[in-house]
Each structure stands twice: as structure tokens, then as C-alpha cells.
Amino acid sequence: MKPRVLTALPVYNEATHVAQVLREVQKYADDILVVNDGSSDGTADVLLSVPGIRVVTHGDNQGYGAALKTAFCYAVRNNYDVVVTIDCDGQHEPSLIPELAAAVYPEEGEPVDIVSGSRYLKSFDGDSPPPEDRRQVNVEVTRYLNEKLKLNLTDTFCGFKAYRTHALENLKITELGYAMPLQLWVQAVQLGMRITEFPVPLIYLDEERSFGGSLDDTERRLRYYHEVMDRELDAPAGEKVTTLTGPTLCD
């Protein structure tokens, strides 16, 4: 039986890009969920004009991680087999959605729990490098997680991923900001998830794009990422997700 795939887009103040991105996504995905994370720039009105999508709206801006968590829970509660996440800033290639989703259930071998897009696994024609500070942060965080978790990742921050939905149910996501993927990596290893990377193009369209507030400062952003990683790595044994006790993803 063909897996049911949900393609989910976290959106915050993307009125400029969202309609164009969704038109492209609709060429390659049947079931599309947009999580509007409290946008205040007219994004909600744009979404009303796009047929054939589902929208979940946060009344207030809760954070990138919160939007992803909402998408994960939607996939769990609606019995999807795979959820593909793709950012809404035009920096991912929607034509790869079917391949990314298919990699979760390969024709041979065991299912993969996380198929993570990597912009550094191989080169593509037309690749455009990120701002140097963002690349440096990615390199440092990737190195640190590889060292601590015995992984071999090349890109810890790519938002273009496919997840086996059932594998997400035991996550305990409490970090709702930009560092949520780092908490997820730690828990994924603790839970023994199968992880692989998938090469995707390196596309940066807006070098002035802001994280917002203090996170626009590179040192503060890196410090925040390390705080989240270390907190998750150092959690007392009784709080680690490997115990599978207490509230999980959608509780």
C-alpha cells in the first residue's frame, strides 16, 4: 500500500513568498498543511486565496519549533505515514518532495525514521552559498552533535526533511524556537531512530533574512543553540525520552 504523505510548511510573515511556494508545492504533493504561526503581515489573507490546502493557525507567534510540532501532531492524529517538512521562503526545491518521502520506505531494507535534507552532501548546478556567519554556525553545531551523538551528519539545520510519522510519537518537544531541531536530533538518537541524509540544492535567496531579536547576533545565536543541546544531552536519566514515560509529542 502506498504511504500517506503529508507535506507541511511552517509559515510566519511570508506573505511575499507563500502563494508562489504553495503553487509549486502543489505540483508534487497532494495533502498540504500550512501552519500559520501567528503571522501579522497579511499571510492569513493570502492563504485564504489558495485552494486545496489545510491551514492550522496559531493565534500568537509561538516559534519555528512550535509550528513543526503542530505539523507533527497533525500528521500523527490524522494517520499519515510520512510527513515532509519544507520551509516557505523559496529556498527548498519542491520537486524533490516525492523522492524525499519515498526514501522513508525504501524498496529494500527497514524504514527510515528521519530522511534529512543536506545542502552539503553534494554540489548542484546553481548552488548559492549562505552568508558566512550562518555557514560557520551550521558547521560548529553539526560538528558538536556528531561528536556527542556519534553521528555523521553534514547539515543539522536543513528544514527540508521527511519523517516516519510513527517514529515521532515518542518525542518530547519542549523547545519551541529555532533550536527545536537540535533537541529533536538528541532525542532521535536516544530513541534509536534510523537516520539518513538526502542531498538537496543549496539555495539562499535573501541574505538579509532575520532570525529576530537577539538571535541576529551570531555569538548569541550559537550560545542559545549550545544551551539547548547541552540541556538535552545532560537531562537526568529519569527525564530522557528513552524511558518513554510521561507526556510525549501530542499529549
User: Would you state the pLDDT for residue 163?
Assistant: 98
In terms of CATH architecture, what is 5-243?
Alpha-Beta Complex (3.90)
Residue 121: predicted pLDDT: 84
pLDDT attached to residue 219: 87
Longest dimension (CA), the chain: 49
Looking at residue 245, its pLDDT comes to 52
pLDDT of 130: 65
Q: How far apart are CA 45 and CA 49, in angstroms?
A: 7
pLDDT of residue 65: 96
DSSP designation for 121? S
Q: What are the structural domain ranges in the chain?
A: 5-243
pLDDT at 215: 56
Q: Provide the residue-wise pLDDT of the chain in tens; the chain has 251 residues.
A: 789 999 999 999 999 889 999 999 999 999 999 999 999 999 999 999 999 999 999 999 999 999 999 999 999 999 999 999 998 876 788 999 999 999 999 999 899 999 999 988 877 766 666 667 778 888 999 999 999 999 999 999 999 999 999 999 999 999 999 999 999 999 999 999 999 999 998 776 554 454 455 556 788 889 999 999 999 999 764 455 554 455 689 98
Torsion of CA 44, 46, 47, 52, to 10 degrees: 160
Could you tell me the pTM of the whole model?
Answer: 0.90
- Rg, the chain, Cα only: 17
Please tell me the predicted confidence (pLDDT) of residue 17: 87
The pLDDT of residue 217? 74
Give dist(CA 234, CA 220) in Å, integer: 21
Residues facing residue 163 across a β-bridge: 83, 114
Angle in degrees, 0-180, between the axes of helices 180-190 and 132-149, rounded to the nearest 10: 20
Residue 236's pLDDT is what? 64
